[in-house]
Amino acid sequence: MAGWHNGLFYLRDYHDNYRLHVNGRASIDGYTYFGRGVADAGLRPTLLLRRIRPEVSGEFFQDWSFWIAGELGATALDNPNGTTETSAAAPGVTPTATTGRYAGAQTARLTARPDDVYITYRASRLLNAQLGQFDAPFTLENRTGQKYLPWMERALAVRVVGIPTDQEIGLMLRGETDEGHWYYSVAAFNGDGPNRPNADSHLDYMARTFVHPFASRPDLVKDLQFGASARYGTRGRSVNYDYPSMTTQGNYAFWLPTYVDSGGSTIHILPNGRQLGVAAEVRIPWSIFTLTSELVEIKNGTREAIEGQQATSALRSGELEGHAYYVQLEAWPVGARDITGRPGYENAAHVDFSKPDPVTPPHALHLLLKWEQMALRYASASRRGSPDPANADGSIKVNVVSVGANYWRTKFLRLSINYVLNDFPDSAPRSPTTADGVQQTARQRAVAPGNTLSLGVNDGARDRAHVLHELLFRASIGF
């Protein structure tokens, strides 16, 4: 038997012991950038296939389910903004003669790789076991599927600070009380990110819990939510991959985990030692509005190694620590409120034949406003050794204001526009333009695009650029 119900295509046998669901998603994005020195820095308007994910899921005997998805889209941009001429040189990449930007800027990296791949056993509503690769249970937004994120990408606090890997490989237990008053999830992971085997025999442990104190009420107050997350892990000397880059929503990298030291060697910043994180979340619905906020605090150990010796050398050991948060206001002026459901769950696909489908599929206009702030500090030798004179130590500060709108033709077809103003206060070039000119210091290590220009290209932007404007578009389908 075959059909469409509860937003899922299905095939099932006559005894309903086996169900197969055909799923998928595709996102076509447009990026446009504005600001001092943006054009000179090589940031060009572009269209790209951001995500292409064929997916298949299923249910066996009502207790077992699975999800298998692959990613065929542009998972990232190679050198989306280039790097500075001295502070974050990409290995083996040469700056162009005219601008100092790195060749290959904004080249989409197309890769075929596994995405979400997991098996789930449901013992009861209060106990589910999930094994495989999936979004880790740290923060509300990281446990909201990409198809239903309010913005085109997750917040700085989540994608840059809290859980840059997004997905992990491991085992998670989760469940919820019958009336939905309390939800929990606990997990153990490799800790090295998606599609990567355990690099050091250590595990990462994560937990998330939240409450709906008024879940029994029939009105919107039932969705009032308070929650918290925690993560703990360690990274040994055998870990030889870089600490994740820090990027804007439009994929401009304002901080990279490499720099050139005083001796001319390229230095890599790698995770090492304890990796700690805590987060708090709140979601307040009222009338056509929802106020959501999350705060993330981290303290992650690091080490520095010379290019080509990442697996064997440890010049010094330090820490990257700090916090980030966002405050987000949503409005649903037209159509069905919360058309995509409550965020933060990401349950397995399931067809409930007791619930009828609507005669006319709902639609909605979804308006968004968000404020974000990130304040991190990197200290390369706080645990061992001495910093290099040309170190990358210091604060990484970013302020972001975003305005957005989504038109949901149905739950499965979406048109989005996001305007993002990224402010990098006190940003400056790595080397001064003139003898008495401004120069990057420990006060701010994040850079605006103009700060990365070579001498003589656009010296005004090089010294005074602090802002990047991004206008982003998306047309997507997901079912």
| pLDDT of 311 higher than 90 | no
pLDDT value at residue 272:
96
274, 232 Cβ separation under 8 angstroms = yes
Predicted confidence (pLDDT) per residue in 80-107, tens digit: 444 433 333 333 333 332 333 333 345 5
Structure confidence at residue 38 (pLDDT): 95
pLDDT tens sequence across 252-273: 999 999 999 999 999 999 999 9
Through-space distance between the first and last CA atoms of the chain, rounded to whole angstroms: 19
What pLDDT is recorded for position 108?
Answer: 56
Write the single-letter amino acid at 51: R
Provide the whole-model pTM: 0.90
Nearest CA to 64 out of 350, 354, 479, 346 is that of 350
d(CA 66, CA 131): 10
- For the ranges 11-20, 162-171, 274-283, 315-324, which has the lowest average pLDDT? 11-20
Helix (H, G, I), strand (E, B) or coil at 460: helix
In whole angstroms, what is the distance from residue 120 CA to residue 61 CA? 12
Q: What is the pLDDT of residue 149?
A: 95
CB 429 within 8 A of CB 462: yes
| pLDDT of the residue at 91 | 31
- Tens digit of pLDDT for each residue in 453-469? 999 999 999 999 999 99
* For residues 201-206, average pLDDT: 95
- Rounded to an integer, the average pLDDT of 304-310 is 92
Q: Which of 25-29, 36-40, 371-375 has the highest mean pLDDT?
A: 371-375
| pLDDT value at 179 more than 70 | yes
Phi first, then psi: give them for residue 162, nearest 5 degrees.
-75, -50
Please give the average per-residue pLDDT across 201-227, as a whole number: 95
Structure tokens at 231: 């993560």
Q: Identify which of 18-22, 38-42, 50-54, 323-327 has the greatest average pLDDT.
A: 323-327
Residue 463: in which H helix or E strand, if any? helix 459-464
Domain range summary for the chain, segments of one domain joined by +: 2-478
pLDDT of residue 76: 54
pLDDT band at 479 (very low <50, low <70, confident <90, very high): confident
Mean predicted confidence (pLDDT) in 188-213: 95
Summarize the confidence of residues 207-228 as an average pLDDT. 94
Domain 2-478 has CATH 2.40.160.10: yes
3-state helix, strand, coil in the chain (%, to 5): 5, 50, 45
What is the distance of C-alpha 64 from the center of its chain? 29
Confidence of residue 35 (pLDDT cuts 50, 70, 90): very high
% of the chain residues with pLDDT over 70:
92
**Residue 352, pLDDT score:** 84
Mean pLDDT for the chain?
90
Among 92-96, 215-219, 345-349, 371-375, whose mean pLDDT is lowest? 92-96
- The pLDDT of residue 107 is 55
Which pair of structure tokens corresponds to residue 10? 């299905």
Q: Give yes or no for residue 75 having a pLDDT over 90.
A: no
Which residue type, as a one-letter code, is found at position 387?
Answer: P
pLDDT for position 89 = 32
Report the alpha-carbon distance of residue 346 to residue 452 in Å, rounded.
40
| pLDDT value at 245 more than 80 | yes
In this predicted structure, the answer to whether residue 156 has a pLDDT above a threshold of 80 is yes
Q: DSSP class of residue 144?
A: S
Span of 59-63, 91-95, 192-196, 437-441 with lowest mean pLDDT: 91-95
C-alpha distances (whole Å) from 449 to each of 46, 88, 162, 308, 383 are 17, 13, 24, 28, 32
